[in-house]
Amino acid sequence: MATAAWPGKKDRSLIGKSITRQDGPVKATGRAKYSYDLNPPGLLWAKPATSPHAHAKLVSIDTKKAEALPGVKGVWKDTDLIGEEVRYIGQIIACVAAESEEIATEAVALVEAKYEVLEHQVIDNDPKFATGRASEQEVGKVADGFAEADVTIEGDYGVPVITHCCMEPHGQVTEVRGGELYAWPSTQNVSRWADRLNDSVGIDRAKMHVDCQYMGGGFGSKFTYDKWGVIGTLLAKQTGRPVKLLLDRDLELAIAGNRPSGYTHIKLGVKNDGAITAFEGSVVGTGGGGGYRLRAFPYVFEPKNRKTTMKGIRTNRGGQRAWRAPSHPQTCLLTFSALEDAAAKIGMDAAAFYKKNLNLTARPDVYAEELDIAMKMIGYAEKAHLRTKLDAGPVKRGLGIAMHTWGGLGHGSECRVTINPDGSVKAEIGTQDLGTGARTVVSIIAAETLGLPLEAIDTRIGNNAYPASGGSGGSTTTGGISVSTRMAATDALNDLLGHAATKLGVAADKLEAKGGRIREMGNAAKSMSWADACKMLRTGSISKTGQNNRTEAQKAGLIDAGVGGVQIADVSVDTETGVVTLNEMAAVQDCGLIVNMKTCESQVFGGVIMGITSALFEEALYDPTTGRMLNADMEFYRIAGIKDVGTIKVHMMTGEEYEKRGIIGIGEPPVIAPAAAISNAVANAIGVRVPYLPLTPERVLNVLA
Amino acid sequence: MKSFEYATPRTVDEAVEQLAEQWGETEVLAGGTDLVTCLKQGLTAPKRVVSLKAVKDLKGISSTKGALTIGAMTTMGELAGNAGVQKHFPSLATAVKNIASPQLLSTGTVGGDLCQRPRCWYYRNGYGLLAQQDGKSLVTAGDNRYHAIFGNAGKAKFVSASSLGPPLIALGATIKTSSREIAADKFFQTPKSENERETVLNPNEIITAISVPLSGAENATYEIRHRQGLDWPYVTASVAKTNGGTKVVLGHVAPTPWIVAGNDAAQGAKPLSGNGYKVKMVKTAVKRALAAASNGASN
Amino acid sequence: MTADEKTNMQGKGLSRRGFLKGVGAGGAVATIATGCSTIDRDGVVSLTPRGPENTPITLNINGRRRKLEVEPRVTLLDALRNRLDLTGAKKVCDRGTCGSCTVLVDGEPAYSCSMLAVEAAGRKITTVEGLGSPEQMNAVQEAFVENDAQQCGFCTPGFVVACTSVLDKNPDATLEEAQAGCGGNLCRCGTYVGMNQALMDAAKSLKGGA
């Protein structure tokens, strides 16, 4: 009788190993078809017409000229918006569908709209634009904490609005046939992408077929159908033809999601021995037109006396969306900048300062162990210096540390595993692979459970016809899909073992599946091949659906939540040009039981690189006069290239203590700390804080001037 | 992008005939790395695009009479890879290498580099080359971190995007066109209206070649950039030292390449609200370019 | 305009040569009054301007000649993706910055988003599909897969083409030289660590090493 508990290390043939992702070859050869790549017969191209004003009342929309352009086949107007306000440049007001992309682009320029222009506001960092009531929270008594302190430091720090900049833009191909919708969106939520879409398009939810085999990046911004999903569906319905609607890059950057800013003033009280006594921080920031709140502030270190206030700035910019580890990268930067400034103020080594205060964290032992490992990896003992002892010469080197935390409990998920009489195995699950290797994870768990090689599993994902699985956000996928797959495969296997038991004359609960055979536990002599066992199913396949019941699974040690990580950056700063060069980054991370070491490490490398990118390059820049995003392109909205990220070393915490917790997600944690670590390293290198990200040459030169 | 017709003349004369006398009616297509983007951005909507790909005698690098002559359709990659260029003009080779994108080097041309339009984000977002709104400069009131610190008293606040302009001026090059020869330092101009462009070329005039004198000058280019890969420089400095003196020409600091004195490169700089940091960069770039020229090592 | 009109091959009342010139300048144009609309076999050069409507070209892609009709404004990338269903080259920035659209033109890497399809006629074009198949990958593709140098995979074909180009030219490339071959490409997922290893492994395998 197979059980759902994860096998111990010596019994694992696949789990925890370094396994090459299964869809690697189709991607690397350009054969993988993403939503953007689908060209069904009769395809029409749709392009949205958008508001050129950051804030205005929309008076009218006239699409006559666009409709008259030869090749235009469908037009949609947002009639509900007429008389209402448009709130940012790029807000969609109409859309045309045409025979070619060129014609659609040309037709959009012919859409005429009248507006009454209103005042706009796009500044994201000035408290004077903050509106509404501040949310305030006090734990302990900060006044007492500051009274206890020997030294008080104060500082301003900030993180700008950045965007997701998914390589594949948002959008989808849609087709309506016989009253049924066929949609191929670029999504991180295939099972529930279409939820509530029926409200807008008049097609029954049960008649919506959603498929996404490959998708070019989401990072939190692609959970639902969005306005373009509605428009694409309505145009498909109107024209009776498939419609491709994916955003051009300028819209992708300006309207398809961003990460809210956070600008703070922090006051920190410390004793001369380094103990933190009080923390007070006020934050303003914007997520566009909606509400604003950063969670987890102060970050990781929670002084007993702490007070925070938070206030939002409403801006006429595109709206915020979840961005890999929502809130954490911002609050990490804000908090850890203040922490290392405090250490510098009292002349204490940063690592020693953190160690002194680990009791203020949720997992002191984990952080202590990880910090020591990271320090060894970076050569801390040899390289570290106080902020008062700078390198001679124009290029100065420094180290900086930051830590992070994340939940990562597996999401709700169902998976169906089918064992066929011919020995073939199918795993079907309505999850999606964002590039995390989810497809391969399903195969690994099913193959491990059934004692088969990886290739024996026919894994099907990316379709809402399969058992539903959660959206891929918050590092919840690997845990969720692993448990549901494990449950289904275990259940199916037990059924098969029942068949084999009679033939082998061994009780089913004494049987196991290993190495492609069904055998008596510990007795390879009494066994039969997988194929022979399956042949006994003559009458039909075994098909079982497994579930991730989060509470039970966590209790059973299959999944867990809560990880820590420590990262140390080693940078060089050219004080005559302001250019910051990342020499090396050490990242130490735990995530419970690792399913696939190769793709897990890739997540950490990728997270660190994305964090480095935000530290050095990223900022959505808006023009105050026109309200337009000035760098809605990839030329001045910079992301790091291959030579910009230095040497990155990753260490995954493994071993019984970590593995017994079960699986914990890994997508978010590593992206959190890099910016704070790099900012601290720059401060350590040049002796002064560059308060606001990104750490561009101009910002560095400005603080040195 | 509006539709246009496409011409493929085979001679310089044919090319000139295909071109209109007014800016914007026709456009010259060389490597396309900038023009195709301008077309997509609607910065120009010509009725005809005249491709130079089939025009004879515009490609290649030859050494004649104390000068190196570079055909206008020579790609940037061919220029940087040429042994003569590497030997005599490290400042040119460096300026090209710093573009850092093999794709741009293989398609972008020498003539195209000199004629490319500015990257000013107000211009590229459709607010006009001079970025005026209600008689005021959007640049002055807005985000001008990448804009001009020299030569910005008029309406033009953008910076010249040319990589080759500064080293060619420093080296005393001559630009040959379909109708005349122009000293490199007279080639660029600061437009005063939306109807003018950033060079003295006429709408129906094309660059045919560039001639760089083999003066024996020690020369180098130093560039300050953010990303190591493809990126626009903050500041470049190209220097050429001869017995007659040292020429220092800056890039990306003014609407044209900007000639300065080597011993006081930042003199006369008038930063806007957000680009004062460029003054420090100018000093650094010039210092490092001068040092590189003496060492025979460009960065 | 009378002299010009003689050369008008399209019968639209506009000269196909010098149609934008004033009368004075137009006078000189009559010298090629015999100009004909002949287009050479692949649509590389024609004696009269073509378009703005569809015009026939032949693209030599991955060793195959593909005939198609395109407007002059159609980019090579859009011709590949939208007309020939060769979707390996991706549209990401569409402005010659990110490299996702990279193809080889006459063996050199180029941004296909910044090249008109008509300009590519008669040239040898290799797309990522022409470098290998899932069953038979080239050395770079193999190394990308093995070293997990891809996540979402959307930038990957562009990187594969750029890397193949740099290593084909110089299998002895140092890591830094190989990285320079990727200077015109960008990845958002952050796969550069795997890519560095892939570059070195592919170089080794191209040199016939183990």
- For the stretch A39-64, pLDDT in tens is 999 999 999 999 999 999 999 999 99
Q: What is residue B243's predicted lDDT score, i.e. its pLDDT?
A: 85
pLDDT reported for residue C209: 63
Q: Please give, rounded to a whole number of angstroms, the shortest distance from the CA of A94 to a CA of chain C.
A: 23
pLDDT exceeds cutoff 60 at A701: yes
**Three-state SS sequence of C94-152:** CCCCCCCCEEEECCEEEEHHHCEHHHHCCCEEECHHHCCCCCCCCHHHHHHHHCCCCCC
Domain ranges in chain A with CATH number 3.90.1170.50: 35-119+170-246
Please state, for a pLDDT cut of 70, what percent of chain A lies above it.
100
Neighbours of B, requiring at least 3 CB pairs below 8 Å, are A, C
Interface test with B, best of A110, A249, A251, A630 (most B CBs within 10 A): A630
- Span A453-472, average pLDDT: 98
A252: distance to nearest CA of chain C, Å?
Answer: 10
CA distance C46 to chain B (A): 6
Residue range B65-106, pLDDT digits in tens: 899 999 999 999 999 999 999 999 999 999 999 999 999 999
- A139-171 pLDDT, tens digit per residue, is 999 999 999 999 999 999 999 999 999 999 999
Q: What percent of chain B has pLDDT over 70?
A: 99
Contact between chains at B229 and A642 (C-beta distance less than 8 A): yes
Q: Give me the domain span that covers residue B88.
A: 5-294
Does residue A372 have a pLDDT over 70?
yes
The rounded distance, in Å, linking the Cα atoms of A151 and A148 is 9
Give CA–CA dist C152/B81, Å, rounded: 35
Task: Write down the ipTM of this complex.
Answer: 0.97
Strand A92-98 with A44-50, pairing: antiparallel
Chain A, nearest residue to C72 by Cα: A102
CB pairs under 8 A between A and C: 187
Beta strands per DSSP E along A302-394: 306-313
pLDDT in tens, A604-624: 999 999 999 999 999 999 999
Q: What is the least distance, in Å, from the CA of A111 to any CA of chain C?
A: 21
What are chain C's domains?
A: 2-32 (no CATH), 55-127 (3.10.20.30), 139-206 (1.10.150.120)
Contact between residue A456 and residue A398 where contact means Cβ atoms under 8 Å apart? no
Pairwise CA distance, residues A356 & A358, whole Å: 6
d(CA B81, CA B85) in angstroms, rounded, equals 8
The DSSP element (H or E) to which A259 belongs, if any, is strand A258-259
- Tell me whether residue B62 is in a domain: yes
Beta-carbon neighbour count of residue A179 at 10 Å?
10
Task: Tell me the average pLDDT across A259-274.
Answer: 98
Decide if B210 contacts B70 (C-beta within 8 A).
yes
Q: CATH code at B250?
A: 3.30.465.10
Q: Looking at A592-660, list the stretches that DSSP marks H as alpha helix, in order from N- to C-terminal side.
A: 597-616, 656-659
Q: Amino acid letter at B196? A: E
Q: Does domain A9-13+410-555 have CATH number 1.10.1510.10?
A: no
- Comparing CB atoms, the residue among A625, A642, A702 nearest residue B138 is A625
Say whether pLDDT at A275 is over 70: yes
pLDDT-derived band at B45 (thresholds 50, 70, 90) equals: very high
What are B96-110's pLDDT values in tens digits? 999 999 999 999 999
Task: Kindly indicate the confidence band of residue B6, based on its pLDDT and cuts at 50, 70 and 90.
Answer: very high
Q: How far is A614 from chain B (nearest CA, A)?
A: 13
Sheet with B258-260: list strands edge to edge.
B218-224, B235-242, B245-251, B258-260
- Cβ-contact C125, C132 below 8 angstroms: no
Task: Supply the pLDDT for residue B64.
Answer: 84
Test A641 with B227 for CB contact under 8 angstroms: yes
Over 90: is that where the pLDDT of C123 sits? Answer: yes
CATH number of A323-336+349-407+560-704: 3.30.365.10
pLDDT of residue C31: 31
CATH 3.30.365.10: which residues of chain A? Answer: 9-13+410-555, 323-336+349-407+560-704
Domain membership flag for residue B210: yes
Q: Which of B5, B53, B106 sits opposite C108 (nearest CB)?
A: B106
Q: List the single residue in A with minimal CA-CA distance to B285.
A: A577
Q: Is the pLDDT of residue C18 over 50?
A: no
Contact assignment for B107 to C110 by CB distance below 8 Å: yes
Q: Which residues in chain B have Cβ-Cβ distances shorter than 8 Å to A616?
A: 226
pLDDT of the residue at B244? 85
Q: What pLDDT digit, counting tens, does each position of C152-191 carry? A: 999 999 999 999 999 999 999 999 999 999 999 999 999 9
Does residue C52 register a pLDDT over 60?
yes
- How much of chain C is in helix, strand and coil states, percent to nearest 5? 35, 15, 50
Q: Is B297 on the interface with C (CB under 8 A)?
A: no
What does each C-alpha distance from B139 to A125, B149, B194 come to in angstroms? 20, 12, 15
Q: What is the CATH number of domain A35-119+170-246?
A: 3.90.1170.50
Inter-chain CB proximity B6 and C49 less than 8 Å: yes
Question: Are A100 and C82 an interchain contact pair (Cβ–Cβ within 8 Å)?
Answer: yes
The count of other CB atoms within 10 Å of the CB of residue A359 is 11
Beta strands in A494-601 (DSSP E): 511-514, 517-520, 523-529, 542-547, 563-574, 580-590
Q: How confident is the model at residue A682 (pLDDT cuts 50, 70, 90)?
A: very high
Range with the lowest mean pLDDT among B32-46, B107-121, B267-281, C195-209? Answer: C195-209
Give the per-residue pLDDT at C46. 81
Q: Which helix (H) or strand (E) holds A235?
A: helix A226-239
Predicted local confidence at residue C25, as pLDDT: 35
